[in-house]
Every structure is written in structure tokens, then in C-alpha cells.
Amino acid sequence: MTESDPKPRLWIRDPLAILAADAAGGVVVQGSRIVECVSAGARPADPVDETFEAGRHVVIPGLINTHHHVFQTLTRAHPLAIDKPLFPWLKALYTVWPRITADAFRLATRLAYTELLLSGCTTAGDHHYLFPKGLERSVDIQVEEARASGIRAFVTRGSMSLSERDGGLPPESLVQDDDTILEDSERVLNLFHDRAPGAMVQIGLAPCSPFNVTKRLMRESAALAERHDCRLHTHLGETLDEDAYCLAMFGQRPVDYLEEVGWMGPRTWLAHGIHFNDAEIARLGRAGVGVCHCPTSNMTLASGQCRTCELEAAGSPVGLGVDGSASNDSSNLMEGVRHALMINRLTYGAERVSHLDALRWATEGSAACLGRSDIGRIEEGREADLALFTLDELRFSGAHDPLAALVLCGAHRADRVMVAGAWRVIDGQAVGIDAGALREAHTAAARHLFGTA
């Protein structure tokens, strides 16, 4: 084949079920994109070079994770942190995190990306806010690992600049000064941020939360995002402790704080978004601010329930995230879809929230939070990011509706995952990853961190 030859066309044929309009006959993939949706009983309009028989597979758009902290895979189920709500949980882990080395962080990133891929996730958003001595180039490591794994990455350059000494929550060892943060933010934007459709790596700016950054950093980050055309992300409305902190420190509630620092616009998406009142939801919706719902973490830390339905009705995109692996304590987004269904049903009732809503949050909703119209749905012209699950395990036996079964019976491991037209998971294994060796090295790094190696 010469360079001018068209790329081969792959027909993912006659799936058991597919989450897409008029594509019961499957999809044709060419290069990185879906070029055709095939109706039931039909054949592709043009000849194909290859066929993948998908009669055992339920096909959904690749899941999109819009909030995570991959470094936290090193401190899962940590004895200092379990059974605590957010603030005491954070203060306990702040004593451990400064010891994370660049090598350990690389393994943590690789492990989280692999876990995400295996759960059917094709776009990994991460909020990385830990830059102690030795980890100053964390974003670079995350981008290198994303490129090696083949997952689509949305890395946000997080930050903490307000230490205990200045009234913040983190210790001095975990903060950087505002100028260092802004300089590095600009560096990674210039190096890695791809604004083109089909981008495999994008960068956002993500000062960690009101209780650990300065207002100046929030304002300057918004200005930098405007100049570089990138998204803004932060934690907001996660706990009542945060409300109390903002009132005591700034004399305002978190949403007023967000408005004052110039973040009330469609560039912004927030992690958690739980403790908003009706008027605040209306303001966020009008401004087009997105919210990443993190059901597993919110239940683990007992933070509360994001008002997903009211936010969507008000105009806010709602996506889904696993949140950090120390408050989840895994990186499995498909499990997150099930948790989203359950907690939202508890809040809104069984008839108001369906498995399709939960899947929509994890796909289209997440894509909207990231400002992307090229991923999140299976349709002609979009990127070929697909997750294929089989229903061969005992837990699915007797299930009738295949798409409902994925969520209700608890699918948690994809059989095949495609990112930008390339298979990244085959037969339930991540391509190019020795999972056993990775687990061993990652476990050793975590033990070393904990002082038990």
C-alpha cells in the first residue's frame, strides 16, 4: 500500500446491541473515525477490507472520564484515611503524598490508564495537583504514558498555592507559588495542548479548590485559559465543610467565589457540584458551567448527591468521573456508571433516571464538559472510540435487554476497546501491557511510599 492509498475500512458487524441511532448492522471505521453507521440487515455502502464479527458484543461509545487523580492509586484503602470525610481524609493523605517520586507517579499513571481502558474508558481526564520536589514535570509524564497506552488524554495542570500558613489546608511541602504554577501552566499548554478535532492530548488548567489556592491564581488561570483557548477545571461544592470555609475565609459561598474570580462561563467544568442551592444551579446553568458527577467518591466520603437532573435542566452539561483512586478506590468508570444509576435513583426515583441516562452522562455529557463534539457518540464523522462488552459471565445469564444488562448486572470489564480506530484492549487485555508486572511494580512503589518496603 502506498501513502496515497486510502486507509483500510473495518466493519464492526452486526453487534448484539449498540448504543447508537440506526446502526444495528454495526459501524465502519476508517483511520481514526467512524465513516458509516450500518442499518439493521444492511451492508456497508462501499467494500470493506476487514470485518469484525460482533455478534457477542454490546457496543457503546467509549466512556469519558472527566475527573480523576491518578497518583492516588498509590494510596488506596490507606489506613490513615479510611472512614473519614473529605477534610480529615485530605489532611491524613497530605502527610503521605509528598513522598511520591517521579518513578512511582509514572507507574501510578500507567496503572490508572490501564484500569480505565479495561473498564471501557477511551478518554482519561485527570486533575493533577501534586507538584512536590521531584514531581515538577508530572504533566510531561502523564502525556508520555498516555501516548504509550494509546488512551485519549485530557490532563489538567492542577495546583495548590495556599498552605496552612496562609489559611489553606495543605502543608507547605505540597504548594508552589503562583508564578511558578502559571509559568509551568503556560509551558505545558505550549508543549502539549492540541485544539484540533481528534486531539489525543489536551491540557486544561485546574487550581485545586477554594481551600488550597489563592484568588489571584484563579483569576490569572482564567486569563491564561482565554489566551490559550483551553478549559478550566476545579473542585467546587463538594462538601459542607467547603461552604463553611468559603464563608469564613472569603465571606461568600463557593459559587459567588467562582463568579468573582471570573470562572462563570462555558470553559469551566467543576468536579462534584453537590452543595448548590436552586438559585446557584440556575446561575451555573445559564453560564453553561459543566459538572462532573463522581458518584463512587461521593458515596465513599459521604459528601452528598450531585443535583444532576436540576443542573441538566438548567443548562449545565453533566459528565461522569471516577475521582481519585483514594476516594473510590478504583479507576473503573463502568462501575461508576452503575453507581450513578443507583444513587440518582435513590434521589430522583426509579422512573426518572434510567441506565441510558447514566451511560449518557459518561459519554455525551462528559464530552460536553470537555468541550468536545468529536467524541462521546457513535455516529458518522466522530472519532472511533468504542467499548465492546460481552455478556458471557454468570452475572449476565438470564438478562434480556443487553444495554440495560450492562449497567444493571454490573459490567466492569470490556472485552475490546478501540481508541481513534486502534484496538487498545483485545480479549480483555490491554495491548502492550504486562498487567502482572505492572501490578507488581506499582505495589512495590506503594509499599515503599508507606514505608513498608
Chain contacts with Zn ion (rule: CB under 5 A) = 271, 323
Contacts of 407 (CB under 8 A, 6+ apart): 337, 338, 341, 355, 358, 359
Closest distance to Zn ion from the beta carbon of 69 (Å): 6
Indicate the burial class of 398 (C-beta count within 10 angstroms; 0-12, 13-18, 19 or more): exposed
**Do 63 and 332 meet the contact criterion of CB atoms below 8 Å apart?**
no
**Minimum distance from CB of 292 to Zn ion (Å)?**
9
- Of 35 and 236, the one with the shorter C-beta distance to Zn ion is 236
Please tell me the distance from the alpha carbon of residue 113 to that of residue 70, in angstroms, as a whole number: 8
Shortest Å distance, C-beta 68 to Zn ion: 7
Q: Which three cell numbers stand for residue 77?
A: 484503602
Written as one string, the DSSP assignment of 237-260 is S--HHHHHHHHHHHSS-HHHHHHH
Nearest-approach distance from CB 170 to Zn ion, in angstroms: 14
- Beta carbon of residue 326, minimum distance to Zn ion (angstroms, whole number): 10
Instruction: Give which of 203, 211, 209 is closest to 185, Cα–Cα.
Output: 203
- Cβ-based nearer residue to Zn ion, 68 or 355: 68
Q: 129 or 192: whose CB is closer to Zn ion?
A: 129
Would you say 258 and 230 are in contact if contact means Cβ atoms under 8 Å apart? no
Q: Which is nearer to Zn ion, 242 or 415 (CB)?
A: 242
Residue 453 CB, nearest approach to Zn ion (Å) = 27
Closest separation in Å from C-beta 444 to Zn ion: 26
Of 91, 78, 167, 109, nearest in space to 441 by CA: 109
Q: Which residue is nearest to Zn ion (CB)?
A: 323
- Of residues 236 and 287, the one with the C-beta less far from Zn ion: 236
Strand runs (DSSP E) across 129-231, as ranges?
Answer: 152-159, 201-207
Cβ closest to Zn ion, residue 369 vs residue 425: 369
Is 323 or 329 the residue whose CB approaches Zn ion more closely? 323
Residue closer to Zn ion, measured from CB, 323 or 335: 323
Supply the angle between the helices 178-192 and 215-228 in degrees, to the nearest 10.
20
Distance CA 221, CA 159 (A): 10
Euclidean distance between CA atoms 20 and 2, whole angstroms: 34
C-alpha 451, offset from chain centre: 30
Strand locations in 50-151 (E): 50-53, 57-61, 63-65, 121-128
Peptide linkage before 329 cis (omega within 30 of 0): yes
Smallest gap, in angstroms, from Cβ of residue 142 to Zn ion?
15
Shortest distance in whole angstroms from residue 363 CB to Zn ion: 21
Nearer to Zn ion, 271 or 403 (CB): 271
Nearest distance, CB of residue 323 and Zn ion, angstroms: 5
Q: Which is nearer to Zn ion, 115 or 323 (CB)?
A: 323
Burial of 223 (0-12, 13-18, 19+ CB in 10 A): exposed
For 252, list phi and psi in degrees, rounded to 5. Answer: -150, 160
R_g of the chain computed on alpha carbons: 21
C-beta separation of 13 from 42 below 8 A? no
Please identify, using beta-carbon distances, which residue of 30 and 73 lies nearer to Zn ion: 73
Smallest distance from Zn ion to CB 212, Å: 12
